[in-house]
């Protein structure tokens, strides 16, 4: 016989709650992907969302070698190179010789790329702010704390 205290949930109830959390997180990821796809369209209608991920990374982390960008966004180099060429053709990224190694290049968003990224991210941010507008500050803090705990790979004490 299992003894439960006030802080223990019966295993079947706990499994249902864990499953419900997983389902909710899956729905959140799906909605997030849809928002990123909308932001990608706002950034440039001719681009694939994967190219937008490259631009997002450059926007967040600044100039980098193409190989570093490919690794950071989880793409193989050939796919990243093709998307980078497309971004460059549209004038959204520019490349310069790497001052440390003239044989390689460093990518960055162009002026037009930064302008378009700002507009796309403002629209994406507006959608997010609208969804949490009615939340109390305590709800925002609690949700942020719980999500950070979920992201932390360290096991609980």
DSSP 155: P
Q: How many other CB atoms are there within 10 angstroms of residue 101's CB atom?
A: 10
27-86 residue pLDDT tens: 999 998 898 889 999 999 999 889 999 999 999 999 999 999 999 999 999 999 999 999
Torsions phi, psi of 149, nearest 5? -65, -40
Write down the domain spans for the chain: 36-133
92-138 residue pLDDT tens: 999 998 788 888 899 999 999 999 999 999 988 998 899 999 999 99
* The domain defined by 36-133 carries CATH number 2.102.10.10: no
83-100 residue pLDDT tens: 999 999 999 999 998 788
The dihedral sign for the CA sequence 115, 119, 121, 125: positive
């Amino acid at each position: 016989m299992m003894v439960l205290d006030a802080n223990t949930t019966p295993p079947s109830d706990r499994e249902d709650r864990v499953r419900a959390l997983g389902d909710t997180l899956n729905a959140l990821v799906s909605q997030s992907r849809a928002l990123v796809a909308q932001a990608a369209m706002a950034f440039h209608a001719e681009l694939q969302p994967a190219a937008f991920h490259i631009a997002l990374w450059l926007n967040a982390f600044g100039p980098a070698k193409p190989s570093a960008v490919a690794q950071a966004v989880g793409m193989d180099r050939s796919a990243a190179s093709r998307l980078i060429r497309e971004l460059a053709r549209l004038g959204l990224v520019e490349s310069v010789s790497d001052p440390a190694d003239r044989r390689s290049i460093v990518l960055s968003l162009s002026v037009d790329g930064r302008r378009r990224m700002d507009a796309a991210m403002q629209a994406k941010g507006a959608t997010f702010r609208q969804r949490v507008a009615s939340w109390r500050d305590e709800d925002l803090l609690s949700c942020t704390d719980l999500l950070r705990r979920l992201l932390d790979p360290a096991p609980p004490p």
